[in-house]
Structure 1
Amino acid sequence: MKTMTTQQVRELVESKQTINLIDVRETNEVAAGKIPGAINIPLGLLEFRMNELDKSKEYIMVCRSGGRSGQATNFLENHGYKVTNMDGGMLDWNGETN
C-alpha cells in the first residue's frame, strides 16, 4: 500500500495542484472539519459509491487516524484503483480545514 505523510499531502494542497482527496470518515466527523476539496464517502458506503471514482485518476484516502483510510485503500486497490493512504489521518493534520 502506498502511503503519504500529512505533511506531504499538505504540501500538495498548498501548491494548488489538482489532487483527489476522499475522506472516508462519517458525515458527523467531517462536519467538524475536512481538508478543503476533499470528497466525503463514508467507508461503509465506499463499495456502493466507488463507481463515482475514475480508475484513470489517483486518489488520496483520508480518515481520522489512518486506519479506515487504510482499509479503503486496500479495498480500492483490489478493484483496480490508484490510491494512496494518508498516514496519521486528521489527528496529524495541521493544515487548513473547512
Structure 2
Amino acid sequence: METIKIKEVCPTSTLELIKRNYLLLDVREENEFNQFSFDVPRVLNIPMSQLTERMNEIPKDEKVILACLTGERSLRAVQFLNEYGFTNLLNMKKGLSKWAQKEYPIKGESIVQEKLCCGEHSNCK
C-alpha cells in the first residue's frame, strides 16, 4: 500500500484559496458547527461521524480544504477520503482555533477567542 503525502495549508493560505473558489469542508460535528463556524462563501459541514454515508456530497472534481477545530480530525478525514479516490484535498493545519485566533471571519460565538473582562464587573482589574 502506497503512502500518500497529505498536503497541508495554514489558515492564511486557506483564506487565499477560498477566494479562488476552493470549497471548505468542515468535519466537526453538527453541534460544534452550529455553535461557531467559518464565515466563508463555500463551506460544507459533513461531520467525521457521517463521512462514510455522505462522501458522495463532496465534489471529486473540485479542490477541497478540510478543516476541524485543531486540524487533527480533518487530517484523518483526508487520509480516509484518499482511500476512496479523492485526490484534490488539502488539510488546514491548526484548524478553526487558529483561524479564529487570527480574527478571520467566523459565524457564531467563538469559544477560542479570549473573553475580555469589563463592564459591570467592578472586581475586574
Q: Scaled by the length of structure 1, what TM-score is found?
A: 0.90
Alignment partner of 2:63 out of 58, 61, 86: 58
Q: Which residue of 1 aligns with 2:32?
A: 29
2:78 paired residue among 54, 73, 79: 73
Which of structures 1 and 2 has the bigger CA Rg?
2
The higher relative CO (CA closer than 8 Å, separation ≥ 6) is in 1
Could you list the per-position Cα deviations for residues 33-67 of structure 1 after superposition, in whole angstroms to 9, with x for gaps in the alignment? 21223111000101110011222112100001001
Task: Name the residue aligned to 2:46.
Answer: 41
Q: Which residue of 2 aligns with 1:18?
A: 21
Unaligned runs of 5+ residues in structure 1 are: none
1:9-42 Cα offsets, whole Å, 9 max, x none, are 12233xx321111000011111122122311100
SS in 1 for 2:35: coil
Question: Percent identity between the aligned chains?
Answer: 34
What is the DSSP-based 3-state SS (H/G/I as helix, E as strand, rest coil) of the residue aligned with 1:31?
helix
Aligned residues: 96
Displacement over 4 Å in runs of 4+: none
Q: Which amino acid aligns with 1:96?
A: P
Distance in 1 separating the partners of 2:94 and 2:25: 15
Please identify which structure carries the higher helix content.
Answer: 1
The two structures, once aligned, show a CA RMSD in angstroms of 1.2
- Contact 2:22 2:62 survives alignment (8 Å): no
